[in-house]
Amino acid sequence: MTTVGILGGGQLARMLALSGAPLGLRFLVMDTASDACAGQFAPLLVGDYRDEAALAEFASKVDVVTFDFENVPAESAEWLAQRVPVFPNPRALAVAQDRLVEKTLFRELGIPVGAFADVASYEQLRDEVERLGGACILKTRRLGYDGKGQFRLRSVGDVDAAWEALGTQAETVGLIVEAFIPFERELSVVAVRGRDGEFRTWPLTENWHVDGVLSASLAPARIDEALARAAREHARKLAEALDYVGVFALELFHRDGQWLANEMAPRVHNSGHWTIEGAETSQFQNHLRAVLGLPLGDTRVLGHACMLNWIGEMPAATPVLQEAGGYWHDYGKEPRGGRKVGHATVRADDAEALAHALARIGVGLARQAQVAPVIARLTA
């Protein structure tokens, strides 16, 4: 029986383990926290990702390694790759961990991106903010996610505050400043590439964020087919350039009929959670199929689907579960401000039925603001 090792024990590892059960797979999860929620469904090895003794024990017990968390040290993935197959490969992980390297690769591949620049000093930040016209975002090159490690500047007058917030990290994780993009819509391509190079994508997903954290996702996105085809081609170029194996997400901004790439997530992705019930094959099972060298499953959507993220604490399940197409996911985490603790997926045969279901759920949970933009898109 094959044992899959997962570096990182959060909800993504948990859902990978659940989706792998029908394939007869075993799992071993490695995490720094003893209460990692994936440990509720798979054996958990607690250890530091840089501890070679812990990594050696992990490697000795698994047949293949993947990860659910892009901040696992790329050096640790490289160390493991010398002893056991690791997918996605450590290079893909390293590229996605550094925003400057990532955006430079996008540009080299002809994937459009907004203006950006490396920042090593206060003076350089001021110069670049002036060059970019004042409206921009200062970010850490490494370790930021869900809006963390970012500072929004509206003018040159915000440079002092931005440097006060993030300047101390210039010499540790590095900084990058990016032109602010007043995008019309934010979408993602969730894609999978197998060991044999087979490439598939799920239908484009439209996403809405609150305070930098994903709030809702809708699939399929209502987008012109020529634009959708271009987005899929951007994802294909990226996957082939990195010799990528597994699932990843390419996050895109849509503005004036054009795409601008935001970032890549080298793992199963929050905006693809709807695929568990809303697609022929989920992102989680296809990720496992890919890393094991198995045939990829069909990625077509089953009707229309919306995923709603639960942040901080779980709401009542009843308004979702009383819907014929309502599905509930509790990650088994302790409530905490800003923490992803669960999600729901709502599926329907057509857009009108999905809009009605979301409206009922919004009223039942007093979350009309969360569902309103999705309903507006479905009924436009």
Task: Going residue by residue through the chain, which has 380 residues, state the pLDDT in tens, using 9 for 90 and above.
Answer: 899 999 999 999 999 999 999 999 999 999 999 999 999 999 999 999 999 999 999 999 999 999 998 888 999 999 999 999 999 999 999 999 999 999 999 999 999 999 999 988 888 888 888 888 878 899 998 876 555 678 888 888 888 888 888 888 887 888 999 988 888 999 999 999 999 999 999 999 999 999 889 999 999 999 999 999 999 999 999 999 999 999 999 999 998 889 999 999 999 999 999 999 999 999 999 999 999 999 999 999 999 999 999 999 999 999 999 999 999 999 999 999 989 999 999 999 999 999 999 999 999 999 999 999 999 999 99
Residues of the chain with CATH 3.30.470.20: 185-379
Residue carrying structure tokens 């903010």: 129
Residue 324: predicted pLDDT: 97
Residue 69: predicted pLDDT: 85
CATH topology of domain 3-86: Rossmann fold (3.40.50)
R_g of the chain, CA atoms, integer Å:
20
Query: Model's pTM, two decimal places?
Result: 0.94
Which CATH superfamily does the domain covering 115-179 fall into?
ATP-grasp fold, A domain (3.30.1490.20)
Residue 95: predicted pLDDT: 94
Q: Are 193 and 237 in contact, with CB atoms under 8 Å apart?
A: no
Is the Cα torsion angle 160, 165, 167, 170 positive or negative in sign?
A: negative
For 109, 166, 217, the CA distances from 132, given in Å and listed in that order, are 23, 19, 31
Residue 368: predicted pLDDT: 97
Residue carrying structure tokens 């010398």: 82
Nearest to 265 by CA among 192, 195, 180: 192
For 66, 136, 234, 267, 365, the CA distances from 245, given in Å and listed in that order, are 10, 33, 16, 10, 39
Residues of the chain with CATH 3.40.50.20: 3-86
Residues of the chain with CATH 3.30.1490.20: 115-179
Q: What is the CATH code for 185-379?
A: 3.30.470.20
Q: Is-cis flag, bond preceding 182, omega within 30?
A: no
Residue 142: predicted pLDDT: 83
